[in-house]
Amino acid sequence: MSFELWPAIDIRAGKCVRLLKGEFSAETIYGDPLDQAEAFVAAGAKRLHVVDLDAARDGGSPNRELVVRIATSLGVPIEVGGGVRDERAAEALLDAGVARVVVGTIAVERPGLLAAMAERWPGQVLAGVDHRAARGADGQSRREVAVRGWLDSAGVGLVELLRNLDAMALGGVIVTDIDRDGTAKGPDVEGLGQTLGLTSLPVLASGGVAAVSDLVALGALRSAGRCLCGVVVGRALLSGRVSIREAIRACEP
């Protein structure tokens, strides 16, 4: 299986932004999303990961027109997440030219609907599994899933959710470590190795990538006879800490 680089474009109020650990109050603005997407593709990006943060938090499709412009004007596959909470929202994006949709909240709250969507669009629906450190009812530390733009705890553990998703015809799961997202502290390679042993679905890593060495480590990760299928990278690319060309060489030599 190839290890794919997915440069990330997060959109809030029509701007390309990055949040720190998902906090809307800790925002860095990187300009126009379409301009940034064009710059990534011009530098060699073969695909893009786009998130409508406003839709993820509040529902609806406030940045839909902008998302569709990115999906239809660059000539590379785009996967889109944020506010995809029913079949109509997924259909609108896929019909508009989006290659894959990422579903988070309903993966927890309406798993039957997610399963139906995965059957309707094989390989084009992914589950966004976003998790942070928490303590369970027994007082033990665990990774707990967050929903609605990471604002709410789902009350479901990472392990439980991954096992529930495993039988679905999903295109994969995007596993985001919220505690590391936007921090440049490096990814949780050990935790991702454990994740590979919890699901048979393709796994994309997200959160914490800060250097080329992080990409090399993720690409080389092997656990339970499996490897990651890709990585989503945002701040490291937007800030110039890692260039698109460096990232591509590390991920797709």
Range of the domain at 79: 4-251
CA distances from 238 to 3, 36, 37, 56, 148 (A): 20, 8, 10, 21, 24
The pair of structure tokens assigned to 139 is: 């007082």
User: d(Cα 178, Cα 21) in Å, to the nearest integer?
Assistant: 5
Strand ranges for the chain from DSSP E: 4-12, 15-20, 23-29, 48-52, 78-81, 100-103, 125-135, 141-147, 152-157, 172-177, 203-206, 230-233
Res 148: pLDDT: 75
Give which of 75, 96, 178 is closest to 129, Cα–Cα: 178
Give which of 45, 50, 47 is closest to 102, Cα–Cα: 50
Res 172: pLDDT: 97
| Residue pLDDT tens, the chain, 253 long | 689 999 999 999 999 998 876 677 678 899 999 999 999 999 999 999 999 999 988 877 889 999 999 999 999 999 999 989 999 999 999 999 999 999 988 999 999 999 999 999 999 999 999 888 776 666 666 777 887 766 666 678 888 999 999 999 999 999 999 888 777 789 999 999 999 999 999 999 999 999 999 999 999 999 989 999 999 999 999 999 999 999 999 998 7
Q: 10 Å Cβ neighbour count for 73?
A: 12
Residues 6+ apart with CB under 8 A from 182: 18, 19, 20, 21, 22, 26, 234, 235
Q: What is the DSSP letter of 122?
A: T
What region does 175 belong to: left with phi over 0, alpha with psi -120 to 50, or beta?
Answer: beta
Helices (H), 43-86: 53-58, 64-73
- Note if 10 is an active site residue: yes
Res 149: pLDDT: 63
User: d(Cα 186, Cα 56) in Å, to the nearest integer?
Assistant: 25
User: Which of 52, 54, 130, 214 does the annotation list as catalytic?
Assistant: 130
Run of H or E including 89: helix 87-95
Rg (CA), the chain: 17
Q: How many domains does the chain have?
A: 1
- Residues facing residue 8 across a β-bridge: 49
CATH number at residue 218: 3.20.20.70
